[in-house]
Amino acid sequence: MNNEQTMVNEFLKGWEQHIRDIVKTDEHTSFVVCALMQKEEIKRFINKGSAGSLVALAELIESIKKEYMIVKKNQHFLGLIEKVESEESVEMIQTNRRRWLEIQNHEETYVAELVKKFS
């Protein structure tokens, strides 16, 4: 990784939570970029950097959006479990959730960490 990429990654790391908060609005990536560009610090950073800075920002947003989709899917399963009344239905939903985790190759701990990040 070159110096510019390292600098970009370090800068963006400080903005991850802010980006998560915007991503939770379910807006498109272009909206998230526009919202972030309203922040003077980010605007200066992007203007000062190369095109790679903007690409890195878009990639980070997409990565965070993917994480948020995992959190939403997990919350969907948990919400269904809360709504059903029969133990049989709970078991079926839990089985489907485990199957989803397996298909997506996600560990329980990874999903729990993501949930914590977006809380």
Contact between 86 and 63 (Cβ < 8 Å): no
DSSP secondary structure of 18-30: HHHHHHTTT--HH
43: pLDDT confidence band, cut at 50, 70 and 90?
A: confident
Encode pLDDT of 56-96 as tens digits.
888 888 999 999 999 999 999 999 999 999 999 999 999 99
Other Cβ atoms closer than 10 A to 79: 10
CA dist 31 and 38 (Å) reads: 11
Residue 111: pLDDT over 90:
yes
Q: Exposed, middle or buried, 41 (CB in 10 Å: 0-12/13-18/19+)?
A: exposed
